[in-house]
Amino acid sequence: MKSDLAIRARGLSKHFGSLRAVDKLDLDVPKASIYGFLGPNGSGKSTTIRMLCGLLTPTEGRADVLGFAVPEHSKELKPRIGYMTQKFSLFGDMTVVENLEFIAEIYSFPAAHRAARVDELLENYDLTEQRKQFAGTMSGGQKQRLALACAVLHHPELLLLDEPTSAVDPQSRRDFWANLFRLAERGTTILVSTHYMDEAERCHRLAILDHGVKVADGAPNELQQSTGMHVVEVQADDPYHAQTALIQLPGVASVTQLGVRLRVLIPESVDDPVALVDQGLRKQKLPAKSRIVPASLEDVFVAVTMKPEQLAA
């Protein structure tokens, strides 16, 4: 059973003083899949990734990465993982090719195949034209492609990507994900952290982190089906006042405005959510049309990160 998992963590915790950055995290990441960490800033995504590659020592709990316990065996682990930091961390005063060659040397990539591998990466990651350019002068998307090329140079079994797309435009993000799918297809396990919903949707599985606690995990569509909430979409003439009116209704857990539409989350325990919304709005004389819609990942996120007191209301 263990052999199907690239990462297995139990009760993994990291405390910085009184702050519980990561709190009793259980994690099962199947091999050759893209696993997403979704969560707002400060939810413990980076800390978890750093513990998994042996950079930080867990306060409690244990984790096996590719069968190696971290951080005790992180030395054996290092050659098998690729890591892409949140901030661009290659050498700005060296050219694209020099950066790749340096990484190749660091990983003791066989000298005979080095040049061929560098050319292959330049080709795959569309950097051939920039080969002589200093890394520091490149655009966000180019830097990100270079960082990924460096991270996969030594054919790692596991890729850890810490918010890789936070500094690039939408087109670069699309291309980037195309690259990730290709890598996963060839058997690489990829753990990627993000705070973009659309990216989370592309993952095979994902875990939602909030204040260091895993509040949900599963495949995106599973999560969308098991929110425990009805999602009512309301098209109102006066969405702003409709929102104010709805949030005060007993039984309404959350209201989010998306342009002229409102997404209203109502616990499944309420029998007729549409009626609840319609009545509430009619009382305030706010004309609107409402209907039940399937939950989006954002609804899932809102639902699972909700405070218990909000849920009670």
Residue 62 CB, shortest distance to another protein, in Å, is: 16
Q: Of 190, 187, 195, which is closest to residue 205 (Cα–Cα)? A: 190
Among 79-87, 116-124, 231-239, 296-304, which window interacts with another protein (CB under 8 A)? 79-87
Instruction: Tell me: does residue 88 bind another protein (CB under 8 A).
Output: yes
CA 275 to CA 33: how far, in whole Å? 42
Instruction: Tell me: does residue 72 bind another protein (CB under 8 A).
Output: no
Q: Cβ closer to another protein: 9 or 70?
A: 70
Among 24-32, 68-76, 282-290, 299-307, which window interacts with another protein (CB under 8 A)? 68-76
Q: How far apart are the first and last CA of the chain?
A: 43
Q: Cβ closer to another protein: 134 or 235?
A: 134
Nearest 5°: phi and psi at 2?
Answer: -65, -30
Strand (E) positions, the chain?
A: 5-16, 19-30, 34-38, 60-65, 68-70, 81-84, 158-162, 189-194, 205-210, 213-218, 229-236, 254-258, 261-267, 288-292
SS3 state at 67: coil
Neighbours of 140 (CB within 10 A): 14
Residue 85 CB, shortest distance to another protein, in Å, is: 5
Instruction: Tell me: does residue 93 bind another protein (CB under 8 A).
Output: yes
Instruction: Tell me: does residue 92 bind another protein (CB under 8 A).
Output: yes
Q: Give the one residue of 4, 26, 30, 57 binding another protein; rule: CB under 8 A.
A: 57
* 3-state class percentages of the chain: helix first, strand second, coil last, to nearest 5: 40, 30, 30
CA 69 to CA 8: how far, in whole Å? 10
DSSP tally for the chain: helices H, then strands E: 12, 14
Residue 81 CB, shortest distance to another protein, in Å, is: 7
Instruction: Tell me: does residue 87 bind another protein (CB under 8 A).
Output: yes
Please give the biggest Cα pair distance in the chain: 78
Binding residues among 210-269 for another protein as defined by CB under 8 A: none
Q: Give the one residue of 28, 73, 102, 296 binding another protein; rule: CB under 8 A.
A: 102
Instruction: Tell me: does residue 85 bind another protein (CB under 8 A).
Output: yes
# binding residues, another protein (CB under 8 A): 30
SS3 state at 186: coil
Among 67-75, 228-236, 238-246, 275-283, which window interacts with another protein (CB under 8 A)? 67-75
Among 70-78, 168-176, 204-212, 263-271, which window interacts with another protein (CB under 8 A)? 70-78
Instruction: Tell me: does residue 106 bind another protein (CB under 8 A).
Output: yes
Give kind and range of the element (H or E) at residue 117.
Answer: helix 111-124
Q: Give the one residue of 8, 45, 50, 173 binding another protein; rule: CB under 8 A.
A: 50
CA 183 to CA 9: how far, in whole Å? 23
Instruction: Tell me: does residue 91 bind another protein (CB under 8 A).
Output: yes
Residue 147 CB, shortest distance to another protein, in Å, is: 9
Instruction: Tell me: does residue 15 bind another protein (CB under 8 A).
Output: no
Question: Which residues bind to another protein, rule: CB under 8 A?
Answer: 50, 53-57, 71, 74-75, 78-79, 81, 83, 85, 87-94, 98, 102-103, 105-108, 150
